[in-house]
Each structure stands twice: as C-alpha cells, then as structure tokens.
Amino acid sequence: MDLGGVLLLPGLVNAHTHLRLTHLCGKLRPTKNFVGWLARVALRSRLSSRAALQRAIADGARQLLAGGVTAAVDIDIEALAAETLRESPLRLVFAHECISLDPNRAAQTALRMMKLLESQEEVPLRRRHGLAPHAPYSVSRELWQALAKRIAGKKAQEKRPPSPNNKPDGADTAAASTASTTFTAPMPLFLTLHLAESADEDEMFRTGRGRMVRWLRLFRVLPRNWQAPRCSPVAFLEQTGILNTAGIAAHCGCADAADAAILARRGWTVAFCPGTHEFFRRAPYPLAVLRSAGVPVCVATDSAASNTGLKMMDEMRRLAGMFPTLTVREILEMATTIPAHAMGWSADIGKIAPGYCADFSAWTPCPEASQLDRSWFADPPPQCAATIIGGEVVWKKSG
C-alpha cells in the first residue's frame, strides 16, 4: 500500500470523549465558570432531538477517523452512541453514563445500569461496554457504594471456574475437564468517571460550600441532608469502594499528592484533556505530581463542547507546549500505549509490532531524520494523510 511520503505512527487512542456533544463545537465560549458551562450544556442537550444527537455522534466518529484515531472511549447515554456507531470501523468502548444524587434510588439505578451492560453486544477488539458513573458531585454516595458492590460481585462470579456438574448434555468427564482447563475468563468490567476536574468540585467536597453546591441546590437535585465529606473528591471515592476496580479517571486537574497516591495504589489511569484544560483557563496541570506517584497519564480530547474539535494531534501539540521536558516518545505513548492499556487492549493495539492489529495513522510532513524531535509538533501542525484499521484504509485525505 503506497501512501507516499508519510510518517507512519500507531493508530491514536482517544481515552475520553463525548461524541454526542460534537454539534456544540464553537457554540460555547471559553470560561472559568465550569458550573455555568455545565448548566448550558445540560440545557442544550435537552433541547437537542434524538436525530440531532445521532448526527453529532456520527460526525464526531468521522472526525476521530480523520484525525488518525483508531480506538476510543465514548461516554454514552441510553446506548445511543452504541446504536448509532454499530457499523463504524472504529474500535470503541462505550461507557454508559449514570447520574443520580437521589440516595433512595441508588439500588434501583445500580441494578438498571448492570442490566443495561448485560444487554449490550460485545465484539472482541471492536466493541466493548462499561460503566461511566459521571462524577462525585453528580452521583450519590449510596449509588457509588451500590455500584461498587455489584461490580465486586460480578468480578467474584467471573473468577469462579465453570463447574464440572454443569457440563453440556452428552459431554463426558474428560471433555468437561478439558473445557475447564481451556476456560478463558471475560475481560474485567470497564469503568471510567470524571474526577477532581474543577476548583468548584474540590470546594464542594472539602467545605460543603461554593458555586457547585449553590447550583445543585438551585436545581433541587442535591438532597437536603447532604453533608460534605470534608476531604478531596478522590478520597471520597476511595471511601465508597468504587476505586477498588481500576479504570480511567478523566481530568484530575485538582489532584494533589495524596490523591495521586490513592490513584496509583488502586491502579487507575488518568486521562488529561489539554484542550478542555485551556478552555476553562485552569491552573497548571499537576502532571509531575501524578507521574511521580506512579499514575499512568494519557491524553484525550474530551468533548467538542469544551474544545476546538476532536483532533488528538492538537492535544499532543498542546501537551508538548505545556510540558517542554516531555520527550517525543512520552508524548506518543500518552496517545497510544497508555490509553490502550487502560482500555484493556494493550496486547493488541497502540504499537506497530508483530502480533498487534494493523492499526496505523499516516502523517505529513515526513521528517527526513531517522528520529522524531519535538519540532515536529510545532507549526505548521502535522496533517493526517490516512487512517488504517485492521489493515483497511478507513479514511484518506482527498487529493
């Protein structure tokens, strides 16, 4: 396959995005007021028709392909993205979102979410499903605990080997024994959430005051008897047991050393979204704090509603600008191998190597030197020439 003079990279892996918000790109101005932005996004989403949301999801998927992305995690609501992208060539993890601050409905909501997962079709290395309880400020303690309990129960059940007494009709003991030794356990449940994203969230949990609390009370979704845990959002989630299942925590821009230690101990990966960080004009990102604690950090786009688009290369370029000491290898790993591992596909995607899927992204300009240097991320920005998934060209730049 001759693509001309291009630089061949592994297919990029976007570990956190909201494709249903693609139609809001450029509709909301950058702001420091995260709570106000949340309110506007919630309103616009409610006013959007199902057809409009499906078009946004499909357009977002096309943008990912045009930007060299071959695999992604999408935050899905009511399985709309899973339905819309049934035929997309992308390798996708649909993380089904739940939001509820009502403690009285926690058990019912947890059961509903687990049943939703069980109803979804999974295709090895193509379609995977998981849970996305939204954030500490939008999910009750009781729901976090109920989800943690159900996930723990599911993990215990999956670890239990099949019983010889449950062999198929007509199967002899030897066949049952062979089946037992070749039994392959399913992949662990995928989990992702938003965490330690804003100063408003941090203030809410540490003090019980602030803009986030006022907003939630205004919309009458925060229970009257709600009490601040007087700790960081990360420490709060550890108390609920939900962090016992490793997953992807999006943002973590307000995480401190103690939070980083918790995430590292529990095996979590953080998805940093530089475009969103700039959109909300936040303080310098604690990348060094997270990495020094042993937390793997990858790069992602988040939604187009808090970014200039869905281009992973833009996020990599922003990352290079924010952190001049990062090497090219480190930047590329944050867009390939690290998110692939967090998604459970580390043995199959994220690398160009024997035994891996033939997922590539082709880029211009192609540097003449044998080694890439950081100047490649400078202006003019690299352009995606083609995206290949499983050896098939799924997107190619015209001309």
What domains are there in the chain, each with its CATH number? Answer: 7-158+188-396 (3.20.20.140)
Q: How high is the pLDDT of residue 160?
A: 67
Q: How high is the pLDDT of residue 158?
A: 75
Give the pair of three-digit tokens for residue 352.
């160009």
Q: How many residues does the chain have?
A: 399
Q: How high is the pLDDT of residue 101?
A: 97
Q: How many CA atoms lie within 13 A of 294 on its CB side?
A: 8
Residues lower than pLDDT 70 in the chain: 160-186, 370, 399
Q: Which residues contact 30 (CB under 8 A, 6 or more apart)?
A: 278, 279, 280, 281
* DSSP assignment letter at 268: -
pTM of the model: 0.93
Q: How high is the pLDDT of residue 163?
A: 52
297-299 and 269-272 beta bridge pairing: parallel
CB–CB of 22/59 below 8 Å?
yes
Q: How high is the pLDDT of residue 161?
A: 64
Q: How high is the pLDDT of residue 379?
A: 87
CA-to-CA distance for 8 and 362, rounded, in angstroms? Answer: 5
CB–CB of 250/240 below 8 Å?
no
Distance of CA 83 to the CA centre of its chain: 19
Q: How high is the pLDDT of residue 349?
A: 98
Reported as type and span, the H/E element at residue 278 is helix 274-279
Q: Name which of 95, 119, 115 is nearest 194 in CA terms.
A: 95
Q: How high is the pLDDT of residue 368?
A: 79
CA-to-CA distance for 301 and 276, rounded, in angstroms? Answer: 8
* DSSP assignment letter at 113: H
CB–CB of 122/94 below 8 Å?
no
Backbone angles phi, psi at 353, to 5 degrees: -160, 155
127-133 and 190-195 beta bridge pairing: parallel
Give the pair of three-digit tokens for residue 66.
């045009």
pLDDT digits (tens, 9 = 90+) for 103-143: 999 999 999 999 999 999 999 999 999 999 999 999 999 99
- At 323, the amino acid letter reads F
Give the pair of three-digit tokens for residue 16.
């956190």
Largest Cα–Cα distance in the chain?
68
- At 281, the amino acid letter reads R
